[in-house]
Every structure is written in structure tokens, then in C-alpha cells.
Amino acid sequence: MTEATRRPRLVSRTLAVACASAVAVLGAGAVLLEARPAGAQTATTGGPIQIEADSVDIRPQERVVFLSGNAVVIQNGNALRSNTLRVTYRGEPGADGSQIDKVFADTEVFYITPNEQVRGDNGVFDAANNTITIRGRVVVTQGRSVVQGSELVVNTVTRQSRMRSGDGRVRAVFFQDPQARTGN
């Protein structure tokens, strides 16, 4: 196989690795505001992955992929959005054994699901530790309920989340669902 015929496959495999990382992030969900029974949690794995960016820069020798300019990754109604997303991975570039290391959003980041919206100044998905960390002025909203802090950490496996604040005070306002009180 010549370098010219190998390159398109390498590029598509590397982009697939970037897509897989985005799927891992999208599948995490932010559950800070609402604890649901396990059966009621929506799975976000599977389904088509839509990626949009003004440009995609693949650097196989550096094991990094850049999605730049209004970068958006969407799957099953969940979206990860930032001006730039940087994906690093381990393993041989383009090889089937490549694995995501981290996904960085170095600028303002939004994670939007059908039930919640999370906004922060920057964020990182750490595949080895199964965590998403969003830092800065973090705001989580679900309906009219709001939680604010300076760091949100979500475990993508257990869905456990923790909000911290640089000034020591996490601020929250919770609104009850009127149907929950009546049992309907």
C-alpha cells in the first residue's frame, strides 16, 4: 500500500477516533440537578454522530485532532459545543488500537442535553479517569433550577457529579415539579 492510498484511510480513522471521544463526552450527561432511577436514564450511545466545525486539522504524528470554529458534536439530542475542541489520543496514529486520551475545550464550552444545559469557561474529558471537568464560571440549568460554581466534575460511568466554588460557596436554586408533589 502506497503512502497516497494509505493516507485517506489514516485520516478517516483518526477522525473516527475524534468522533469516538466526542461520543464518550456526549454520553456522560450532567446529573447534578436531578437524580433519576437507573431505568429512566437515557442512554446516548449509538446513533449517528454529527460533527460541524469551520475546519478540522488532523496531526497523526502528534496524535491530536483540532476541531476549530464553532465546533459542535451532536449525538442523540446531546451537543458539545466550543469554539475549538482538541482531541489527544494514545496508540499508533490511524491504528485500530488508538484510544482517546483527552478532549480539551480551551474556550467557553457548552454541554447541552434534552434535560440540562452546562456552561463553563473551559473543560476537559479525561478518558482514563472517565471524567468531564468544566471550570470557570460554571452554570448548570435544568428547567428553572440553577446551580453555579467554579468547577463541575462528572463521572461518565457512575454519573456522580460534584460542584465546587472558588469562594467556598456553591449557589443553587431548585424548583420542584408540581406533578411530583401530587404523585401524578
43 lies in a domain? Answer: no
The residue ranges of DSSP E strands in the chain, in sequence order, are 50-52, 55-59, 64-75, 78-90, 99-105, 109-112, 117-120, 122-126, 131-142, 145-155, 161-164, 171-173
41 lies in a domain? Answer: no
In angstroms, rounded to a whole number, what is the distance separating the alpha carbons of residues 117 and 94? 34
* Cα dihedral 7, 84, 86, 118 sign: negative
pLDDT at position 78 = 81
118 lies in a domain? Answer: yes
pLDDT at 46 over 80: no
* DSSP β-ladder status, 64-75 and 145-155: unpaired
Give the count of domains, the chain: 1
pLDDT at 49 over 80: no
7 lies in a domain? Answer: yes
Domain at 75, CATH number: 2.60.450.10
pLDDT at 59 over 80: yes
pLDDT at position 155 = 86
Residue type, 4: A
162 lies in a domain? Answer: yes
88 lies in a domain? Answer: yes
DSSP 156: T
* Cα dihedral 114, 115, 119, 123 sign: negative
DSSP 34: -
Query: For 40-56, what is the mean pLDDT?
Result: 65
Tell me if 118 sits within 8 A of 111, measured CB to CB.
yes
61 lies in a domain? Answer: yes
In angstroms, rounded to a whole number, what is the distance separating the alpha carbons of residues 54 and 34? 35
pLDDT at position 137 = 95
Helix (H, G, I), strand (E, B) or coil at 139: strand
pLDDT at 31 over 80: no
pLDDT digits (tens, 9 = 90+) for 97-154: 667 788 899 999 998 888 889 999 999 988 888 888 999 999 999 999 999 999 999 8
The parent domain of residue 69 ranges over: 3-35+51-182
pLDDT at position 182 = 56
